[in-house]
Amino acid sequence: MELNFKKVSHDYYEPLQFAPFSCETMRENIVPDSCGDIARIVDTTGLVCLTSCELTGDGRFCASGSVDASVLYIPEKEDGVRALHFQIPFQCYGEGQGPADCEFLDIRGELHSIDTRVLNPRKVLTRASLTLYPSGCRHATVSVCTEMAEDGGENVQLLREKRESRVVAGVREKEFTFTEELPLSPGRGGAEEILSTRLDIRGTDSKLIGSKLVVKGLISAAILYRENGGRLALLQQDLPFSQILEGNGFDEDCESDAAYHLLSAECRAGSEGAPDDAYVVTMSLLVKARVTVWRGEEVAFIADLYSTAAPVSCQMMELELNEDAQKSTRRQNVRELLETGVPVKSVLDTEIGCGAVQPAGSEVKISAWARCLYLDENDVLGSVRREFTVSCPAEMPGELAGCQGEAACHGDVITNIMPEGIELRFPLDCTLSASNRRRYLCVSGGETDEEEQNKEVMPSLILRKLSPEETLWSVAKQYRTTRKGILEVNELNEESQIPYDRLLLIPRTR
């Protein structure tokens, strides 16, 4: 006879992580007629503006956008430094990685390196290397047996279990414009030319209030410019922002985290009301906020069953749950020496970049790089860049799988001029997120034999000990009795009270 069950369906999204992929893009650019011929390239910086991501029909990830490049150079027969600004478009593919049922696809882009070489005094070739990190979600609907139906069967004993899982409830996205007018010090020369712009956009808070998702963040901007008179200056500011996204369909006890992607950036001298004001720098950004909402999901299921009246055959299914979600951030202080080959007089600008974070036993390895723009003892402008690896202790249990990490420098960078070059001291904040994908067998169906063949005659009372590897359930199932019956006949209240050296009476249910 077929057993009938009550079932509960769980509808949610599973987070997906994929292997990163890389690409290279390049562009030739001609110096404008208004600028002098190039005598020497000093430095190249770039901003990644990733405007589109998709999963192609053949399962490839596709990311497209541009690298906004700024090339600093020394022109012939002119004093001071100049800059070329242009966009390098890219379209990158990650081969054969994405499942067709991937939803909420997101690709984060990082600029690994960028450099420029002179083809002739009027033409340059700029090459940029990017690393792309895809992620997404997969819709899942799981139906599990939780109870016997009213007509499900007689004398059936159920082993019920409950597990807490952390699942994605949904994703919300919003594009927004951020514009800020930044005043320059009136005691210095105004901005004659913007040379380069660096941006770091990060979230500081994300919460669900009623039916709204409220997110807050910080934009760290570093703008290098040439003053009237030729001196170089650096404007650095942390600019807070906040946005409201729709949060319909989520409970207030849900958690959320936000990530931000730069879509476009413009930085210019002057303001909207006074375009010729050299003591104001206007920065306009187009940013996409992506908020992932998480919820706790309690999953109850039947792990095993049997009947005290007849043999039962069960159909089992595998249930995979995301458990033990943990997140920790550790700050690692770093010291690196960038050798310049010439004596350094002063440091004008410093940039720290971080790439992949790889778990390695009890620690993680962070690929990073540092760049310094400096003046040597002869007031000649130079740049130095160095790549290195930082080891950081991991505060996650070693058995947790699916560990993901991100690192960034959000603290002050201290520079010391040394005989060999420039010593940097700075903190790296490494954030690790980990969870354990555990699998459980649960009952999905079953049936009893109405007429038991070759029924074995067993004694009505059995005396035996409970071995360390046995449970009260396994013993009761073996003899087709009940856990409650064993406890009652042995005058016990809980299974935990059973000593392993005690003989137990096992009453057989007839």
Residues 262-280, mean pLDDT to the nearest whole number: 94
Average pLDDT over the chain reads 90
Q: Which of 344, 353, 332, 331 is nearest to 423 (CA)?
A: 344
Least confident span in 97-101, 259-263, 264-268: 97-101
Share of the chain above pLDDT 90, in %: 64
pLDDT at 181 over 90: yes
φ, ψ of residue 473 to 5 degrees: the values are -65, -45
Q: Are 91 and 47 in contact (CB under 8 A)?
A: no
Residue type, 261: H
Taken in order 266, 270, 273, 279, the sign of the CA dihedral is positive
pLDDT at 96 over 70: no
Render pLDDT for 251-260 as a digit per residue (tens, 0 to 9): 888 999 999 9
Q: Which of 231, 198, 235 is nearest to 351 (CA)?
A: 198
DSSP track, 377-388: TT--EEEEEEEE
Residues 57-61, mean pLDDT to the nearest whole number: 85
DSSP track, 52-76: EEEE-TTS-EEEEEEEEEEEEEEET
Q: Are 370 and 335 in contact (CB under 8 A)?
A: no
Supply the pLDDT for residue 202.
Answer: 94
DSSP track, 271-291: -SS-TT-TTEEEEEEEEEEEE
pLDDT at 468 over 60: yes
Render pLDDT for 290-344 as a digit per residue (tens, 0 to 9): 999 999 999 999 999 998 888 888 899 999 998 888 888 889 999 999 999 999 9
CA dist 65 and 6 (Å) reads 51
Q: What angle do CA 202, 205, 208 make, to 5 degrees?
A: 130
pLDDT at 248 over 80: yes
Least confident span in 37-41, 140-144, 501-505: 501-505
Supply the pLDDT for residue 334.
Answer: 96
Other CB atoms within a 10 A radius of the CB of residue 433 amount to 18
Angstrom CA distances, 297 to 9, 89, 147, 190, 254, stand at 11, 43, 18, 57, 10
DSSP lists the bridge partners of residue 385 as: 371
pLDDT class for 399, splitting at 50, 70, 90? very low
pLDDT class for 265, splitting at 50, 70, 90? very high
Q: Which of 477, 378, 367, 379 is nearest to 428 (CA)?
A: 367
Supply the pLDDT for residue 377.
Answer: 93
DSSP lists the bridge partners of residue 430 as: 330, 407
Supply the pLDDT for residue 242.
Answer: 97
pLDDT class for 89, splitting at 50, 70, 90? very high
CA dist 166 and 507 (Å) reads 42
Supply the pLDDT for residue 149.
Answer: 86
φ, ψ of residue 419 to 5 degrees: the values are -60, -30
Q: Which residue's structure tokens are 């998709």? A: 54
pLDDT at 404 over 90: no
CA dist 419 and 423 (Å) reads 10
Q: What angle do CA 55, 60, 62 make, to 5 degrees?
A: 60
Residues 392-408, mean pLDDT to the nearest whole number: 70
SS3 for 320-355, per residue? EEEEEEEEEEEEEEEEEEEECCCCEEEEEEEEEEEE
CA dist 106 and 53 (Å) reads 7
Q: Which of 256, 246, 258, 253 is nearest to 298 (CA)?
A: 253
Query: How much of the chain is in helix, strand and coil states, percent to nearest 5?
Result: 5, 70, 25
Angstrom CA distances, 420 to 121, 335, 389, stand at 32, 14, 20
pTM here is: 0.88
Q: Are 191 and 278 in contact (CB under 8 A)?
A: yes
For β-strands 38-55 and 421-448, DSSP reports them as unpaired
Residues 205-230, mean pLDDT to the nearest whole number: 94
Residue type, 357: V
Give the CA diameter of the chain.
109
Residues 87-99, mean pLDDT to the nearest whole number: 84
Q: Are 132 and 107 in contact (CB under 8 A)?
A: yes
pLDDT at 465 over 60: yes
